């Protein structure tokens, strides 16, 4: 196996991963994953309140959609700023500040959802939107900070696996929110449902405070950090960003319209389709872990990322054909939907690990913030564009055309530019 270079260790001190016990290292991974899962639940959870907000609170679907999108907008606008905080103040501080802010904002959202202050109608739409926007904005540190904890405390030959595990936080957070918030909102109202991500924030904050330590980093001034700007050294990071943006498009297409395809075209019940989609979340989590392990085994992040791009293109093309053909290919299409749901998310941890490793301890926070921001922009663009394609051409064309995105990503993946790779 080819060796990775490491930018965190120095010749004057033992590597970071030798300065703590294995139990503490894996504990920090668990706490970081919990923090990221909290952010995922807070940002994605309000979408599961839409039926109740529409039915019992009298909101139009557009108003309920505005409430649900507010935390995502807040997150997108603050990711890079939180990355700067991580780089300058450290991972522990950023995680605790972010979780504390998310918990407070979640509490304010609970008050708004309960009608505190006499808000109703359009006033409640505004109050919920603002408080959930704040919740999303304050949650933005968890992604870059938890990624830095993994890269800082795990040896290079184990980082792929560790980051793959950390990347399961998103499907875990979304899955938990889907399983709890919708029924709670139906039975006890949206305010009760919002206690789920708010309570997770409290639990994650306790775990981080008890377990997480800042990884060692070079002591340098702002001038030193500017001089080490990895974006000025070579095009490696911009190429990874660009490839990741293209690869995340199919992921959100499958997440957004897979359920609708099962119900509208195949005639599944909502309950059966929901169980199917929940199962794909488990497959996606497993795919991220396997991809990370494989990258450690072969000694490269970029070659597996390019291989996944080819596999995603082939799977989406086959899914498009199966969805377009119709009845006799229905069973194959369902299988391909499950495969696509796993394959299209498998590259996420590889890109995050490679970016943090190349950016180094003085720039990783900002680099990961840029990575997340760019991916969220693509994620926001996919639903309306794919919706138009589906409306005028059908699901088969939407899935099939999406295969173009990973094919465009293939030449952008900087396979030959990884440091320390022969």
Please write the tens of the pLDDT for every residue from 345-358: 899 889 988 888 88
Structure tokens at 246: 């293209």
Is 210 part of a structural domain of the chain? yes
pLDDT in tens, 165-185: 988 888 888 878 877 887 888
For residue 4, name the pLDDT band (cuts at 50, 70, 90): very low
Do 251 and 212 share a structural domain? no
Structure tokens at 7: 């930018």
pLDDT in tens, 53-67: 877 777 776 777 788
- Please tell me the distance from the alpha carbon of residue 44 to that of residue 34, in angstroms, as a whole number: 15
Do 206 and 60 share a structural domain? yes
Whose structure tokens read 């309570």? 199
Domain boundary among 216, 247, 262: 216
Is 222 part of a structural domain of the chain? no
Given a contact cutoff of 8 angstroms between Cβ atoms, the answer to whether 259 and 277 are in contact is yes
Is 236 part of a structural domain of the chain? yes
Q: How far is CA 169 from CA 250, 277, 307, 326, in A?
A: 19, 17, 24, 35
Do 399 and 344 share a structural domain? yes
- Please tell me the distance from the alpha carbon of residue 222 to that of residue 90, in angstroms, as a whole number: 14
- Please tell me the distance from the alpha carbon of residue 414 to that of residue 240, in angstroms, as a whole number: 7
| pLDDT, averaged across the chain | 84
Do 397 and 288 share a structural domain? yes
Q: How far is CA 54 from CA 125, 133, 163, in A?
A: 11, 19, 38
Structure tokens at 326: 């119709």
Say what the pLDDT of residue 64 is.
Answer: 78
Question: What value does the mean pLDDT take over residues 21-33?
Answer: 92
CA nearest to 102, candidates 23, 24, 35: 35
Do 204 and 244 share a structural domain? no
**How many residues are given for the chain?**
422
- Please tell me the distance from the alpha carbon of residue 8 to that of residue 217, in angstroms, as a whole number: 6
- Please tell me the distance from the alpha carbon of residue 108 to that of residue 110, in angstroms, as a whole number: 5
Is 223 part of a structural domain of the chain? no
Which parts of 265-326 fold into alpha helices (H)? Answer: 270-298, 302-325
Do 108 and 7 share a structural domain? yes
Q: How far is CA 283 from CA 279, 334, 341, 342, in A?
A: 7, 14, 7, 5
Q: CA neighbours within 13 Å on the CB side: how many for 99?
A: 29
Do 199 and 84 share a structural domain? yes
- Please tell me the distance from the alpha carbon of residue 340 to that of residue 216, in angstroms, as a whole number: 39
Quick one: how many helices (H) and strands (E) in the chain?
Answer: 19, 0
Do 414 and 277 share a structural domain? yes
Given a contact cutoff of 8 angstroms between Cβ atoms, the answer to whether 212 and 91 are in contact is yes
Among 20-29, 93-102, 187-196, 264-273, the least confident range: 264-273
Do 238 and 170 share a structural domain? no
Do 81 and 200 share a structural domain? yes
Say what the pLDDT of residue 388 is.
Answer: 87
- Please tell me the distance from the alpha carbon of residue 153 to that of residue 166, in angstroms, as a whole number: 13
Q: How many domains does the chain have?
A: 2
Is 225 part of a structural domain of the chain? no
Is 370 part of a structural domain of the chain? yes
Do 273 and 189 share a structural domain? no
pLDDT in tens, 323-352: 888 766 678 889 999 999 899 989 988 998
- Please tell me the distance from the alpha carbon of residue 353 to that of residue 161, in angstroms, as a whole number: 10
Among 2-6, 91-95, 192-196, the least confident range: 2-6
Please give the residue range of the domain that contains residue 202.
Answer: 1-216
Listed in sequence order, the residues at least 6 apart from 164 whose beta carbon sits closer than 8 Å to its beta carbon are 288, 289, 290, 291, 292, 293, 349
Listed in sequence order, the residues at least 6 apart from 207 whose beta carbon sits closer than 8 Å to its beta carbon are 30, 31, 34, 35
Do 10 and 70 share a structural domain? yes
Is 96 part of a structural domain of the chain? yes
Provide the CATH number for the domain around residue 16.
1.20.1250.20
pLDDT at 413 > cutoff 70 = yes
Q: CA neighbours within 13 Å on the CB side: how many for 276?
A: 25
Is 419 part of a structural domain of the chain? yes
Domain boundary among 216, 240, 270: 216
pLDDT at 194 > cutoff 90 = yes
Say what the pLDDT of residue 46 is.
Answer: 86
């Amino acid at each position: 196996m080819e060796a990775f270079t490491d930018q965190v260790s120095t010749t004057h001190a033992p590597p970071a991963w030798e300065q703590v016990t294995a139990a503490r290292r894996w504990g920090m991974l668990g706490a970081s994953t919990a923090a990221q899962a909290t952010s995922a639940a807070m940002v994605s959870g309000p979408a599961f309140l839409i039926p109740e907000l529409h039915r019992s609170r009298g909101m139009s679907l557009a108003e309920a959609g505005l409430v649900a999108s507010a935390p995502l907008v807040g997150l997108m606008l603050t990711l890079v700023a939180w990355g700067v905080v991580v780089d300058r103040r450290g991972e522990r501080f950023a995680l605790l500040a972010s979780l504390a802010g998310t918990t407070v904002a979640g509490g304010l959202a609970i008050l708004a959802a309960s009608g505190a202050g006499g808000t109703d109608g359009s006033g409640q739409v505004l109050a919920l939107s603002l408080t959930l926007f704040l919740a999303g904005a304050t949650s933005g540190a968890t992604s870059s900070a938890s990624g830095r904890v993994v890269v800082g405390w795990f040896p290079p030959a184990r980082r792929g696996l560790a980051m793959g595990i950390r990347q399961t936080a998103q499907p875990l957070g979304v899955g938990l929110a889907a399983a709890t918030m919708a029924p709670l909102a139906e039975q006890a109202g949206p305010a009760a449902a919002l206690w789920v991500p708010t309570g997770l924030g409290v639990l994650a904050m306790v775990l981080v405070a008890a377990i997480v330590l800042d990884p060692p980093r070079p002591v340098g001034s702002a001038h030193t950090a500017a001089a080490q700007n990895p974006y000025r050294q070579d095009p490696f990071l911009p190429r990874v960003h660009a490839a990741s943006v293209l690869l995340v498009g199919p992921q959100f297409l499958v997440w957004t319209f897979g359920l609708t395809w099962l119900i509208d075209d195949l005639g599944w019940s909502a309950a059966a389709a929901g169980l199917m989609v929940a199962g794909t979340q488990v497959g996606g989590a497993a795919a991220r872990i396997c991809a990370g392990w494989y990258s450690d085994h072969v000694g490269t992040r970029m070659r597996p990322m390019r291989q996944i791009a080819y596999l995603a293109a082939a799977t989406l093309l086959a899914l498009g054909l199966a969805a377009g053909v119709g009845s006799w290919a229905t069973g194959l299409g369902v299988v391909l939907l499950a495969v696509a749901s796993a394959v299209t998310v498998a590259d996420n941890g590889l890109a995050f690990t490679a970016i943090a490793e190349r950016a180094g301890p003085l720039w990783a926070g900002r680099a990961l913030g840029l990575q997340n921001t760019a991916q969220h922009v693509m994620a926001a663009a996919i639903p309306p564009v794919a919706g138009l394609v589906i409306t005028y051409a059908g699901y088969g064309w939407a899935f099939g055309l999406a295969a173009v995105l990973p094919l465009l990503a293939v030449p952008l993946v900087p396979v030959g530019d990884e440091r320390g790779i022969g």
